Amino acid sequence: TPEELFGPLSLAALEQDRFMRNVEGYLPTAKVTFLDEVFKANSAILNTLLTVLNERAFDNGSERVPVPLICVVAASNELPESEELEALYDRFLL
């Protein structure tokens, strides 16, 4: 789920009608990360992952914050079969 990767929603921000996540300790603040069953994620997670991998940035509400990511290791028991996953698949060395 997005909460597991990117952090839970900030209730304080929601009370102010802002959609923000508490990202401390989650992927947007990580230098090294491991993603298990990466190709089974939903499209919202996959699109966000592409932004993180390509631009080293995370859109947290109305802010785009830099991501200090150095290395991503991913695992999957299946190769992607749909064309939508090819963009993410191309970002990994096999």
Tens-digit pLDDT profile for residues 42-85: 888 989 999 999 999 999 989 999 999 999 999 988 888 887 78
Task: Give CA–CA dist 42/85, Å, rounded.
Answer: 10
pTM over 0.75: yes
Calculate what percentage of the chain has a pLDDT beyond 90: 61
Does the pLDDT of residue 90 top 90, yes or no? no
pLDDT confidence bin for 14, thresholds 50/70/90: confident
Burial of 50 by CB count in 10 Å (0-12 exposed, 13-18 middle, 19+ buried)? middle
**What per-residue confidence (pLDDT) applies to 51?**
92
